[in-house]
């Protein structure tokens, strides 16, 4: 259920701004999105897992805050990221 080291490294490599970048907002949002997408089917199957759902909501809100930061300060990077991840429909 957890993300493997290789999958995490691939996500970081795909969204990194530089060679040693692991903490930019783009990388953080991409990692959170992967984790949210991984957890969502669990909650569709286990509707009464309220404690786990709280953790999912914390992840969603953290991603929301990072996206708001990116939108305020770097609108072009924000637009590119949501297009790449397919977040807005």
Domain chopping of the chain, boundaries: 5-85
Instruction: State the CB neighbour count (10 A cutoff) for residue 4.
Output: 8
Q: What gap in Å lies between CA 7 and CA 21, rounded to an integer?
A: 16
Mean pLDDT over residues 68-74, rounded? Answer: 96
pLDDT in tens, 57-69: 999 999 999 999 9
Average pLDDT, the chain: 94
Q: What gap in Å lies between CA 50 and CA 71, rounded to an integer?
A: 31
pLDDT classification of 22: cutoffs 50, 70, 90: confident
Q: Note if the pTM is more than 0.85.
A: yes
The two tokens of residue 53 are: 């759902």
Q: What gap in Å lies between CA 69 and CA 36, rounded to an integer?
A: 19
CATH of domain 5-85: 1.10.287.10
């Amino acid at each position: 259920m957890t993300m493997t080291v290789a999958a995490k490294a691939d996500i970081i490599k795909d969204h990194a701004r530089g060679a040693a970048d692991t903490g930019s907002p783009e990388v953080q949002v991409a990692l959170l999105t992967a984790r949210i997408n991984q957890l969502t089917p669990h909650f569709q199957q286990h509707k009464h897992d309220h404690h786990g759902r709280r953790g999912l909501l914390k992840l969603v809100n953290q991603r929301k805050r990072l996206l708001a930061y990116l939108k305020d300060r770097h609108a072009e990077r924000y637009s590119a990221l949501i297009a790449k991840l397919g977040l807005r429909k």
